[in-house]
Amino acid sequence: MFKENYLFTSEAVTEGHPDKICDQISDAILDEVLKQDRKGCVAVETLITSGLVVLSGEITANAKFNVEEIVKKVLKDIGYLNPEFGFDCNNFSILNSIRKQSLEIAKGVDGGGAGDQGIMFGYATDETEELMPAPILWANKLARYLSYARKNEMVKHLGPDGKTQLTFKYVDGRPTTIKTVLVSTQHTSEVLDKDGNTSEKFKKEIINKIITPCLGKLMDDDTVILINPAGSFVTGGPAADTGVTGRKIMVDTYGGMAPHGGGAFSGKDPTKVDRSATYMARYIAKNIVASGIARKCLMQVSYAIGVDKPISVMVDTFSTSKFSNDEIVKMVRSTFDLTPIGMIKHLELRNPIYYRTAAYGHFGRNEFSWEKTDFAEKIKDYFLHKSCLAKGVKNESF
């Protein structure tokens, strides 16, 4: 068990990245619908480019709101206050092509069925306190801290757009130190050197005020730090790169450490199992690891549109449990309600909570219901009782 030595890399992006802008706009619209109609059906996609926001998708709800004001607030909160950073929240055009949900889809959903077919994955590992893979957890933390430093002027001249990427060294299958830190951060032209590159002085400020405070305990003398390796990063945001909802699914989940079913999250109400079932799968996998019966857990569920119960349930603990995967699947099926209605109720997914999920990862943040470990003791008791019955003893420990 855990005999491999390797390097693993995950990336994250700041809230000002064009794709993440779109995720936040889509989820801000979803939240506004849910504030007014908790049973509203929403599937909204956003595209953003220089001076233009395009909205499309379907909404069926008893709700009225000003789409332009929602978009403007999101852009303002991120920090796109002037054209210098690639977008001006006070001067842009909107093309709105949102319509009502298909009656055929509504027929299946209204009866309690899944809003679409698909496969969803949940994952947990005990390599961090949050039961997340270390590379994506810390890449997201660094991206969040980069934005925090910008908004609080800890480092001046930073722009909203940015990316982080961390390469961790694994020894015997466990993360030890960070081998490489990569930060690409937008900035104004004031910090360019005479050759037109990001100045070394500015890079040192990034290291001393952002990277070291955030990652210092995980780095050593051999850690390589790269900042804006292309030379400079002045032109950013939608002016440099068109953004689209749902294009950062690995950033949103496990950083490539675990599979992804293919469906994105943002802009989708919880009847869409792309969202609700993925959250539930993470919740179950996390509680399995938190219970102590396994050190790693991958869970897959699959659904058919209009059908309430999953077509399949799979669990893989990567040989880190003394219980078989089949035994754990039986526990999952007998313990958790995996119907859309059951998952929505258990995780309280009808609340307007989604705008907060749209940047810095949907997992590893204890503010969300699917990150609770309130079922860990019940899972532990289930297998403890099962083990005791099999051996004819009164008590046993893992």
- pLDDT, one tens digit per residue, over 82-111 is 888 999 999 999 999 999 877 666 666 666
- pLDDT, one tens digit per residue, over 203-241 is 999 999 999 999 999 999 999 999 999 999 999 999 999
CATH number of 6-13+134-236: 3.30.300.10
Q: How is 214-279 classified by DSSP, letter by letter? A: HHGGG--TT-EEEESTTS---S-GGGTS-EETT--HHHHTTTTSS---S---TTB-TTSHHHHHHH
pLDDT at 100: 86
Task: Tell me which of 390 and 319 has the higher pLDDT.
Answer: 319
| Cβ atoms within 10 Å of 175's Cβ, excluding its own | 20
Q: CA 177, CA 181: separation in Å to the nearest integer?
A: 11
Sign of the dihedral through C-alpha 60, 66, 68, 69:
negative
Residues 6+ apart with CB under 8 A from 193: 199, 200
Average pLDDT for the chain: 94
pLDDT at residue 333 greater than cutoff 70: yes
pLDDT at 3: 63
Tell me if 6-13+134-236 shares its fold with 18-110.
yes
pLDDT at 116: 81
The CATH fold of domain 18-110: GMP Synthetase; Chain A, domain 3 (3.30.300)
Lookup: tokens for 90? 């006070």
- pLDDT, one tens digit per residue, over 137-147 is 999 999 999 99
163 forms bridges with which residues in the sheet? Answer: 13, 184
**pTM of this prediction?**
0.94
What's the pLDDT band for 1 if we cut at 50, 70, 90?
very low
pLDDT at residue 53 greater than cutoff 90: yes
Domain ranges of the chain: 6-13+134-236, 18-110, 118-125+247-391
Q: What is the mean pLDDT of residues 39-66?
A: 96
**Cα 181-185-190 angle, rounded to 5 deg:** 130
Query: 137 and 366 in contact (C-beta within 8 Å)?
Result: no
pLDDT at 173: 93
DSSP 95: E
The CATH fold of domain 118-125+247-391: GMP Synthetase; Chain A, domain 3 (3.30.300)
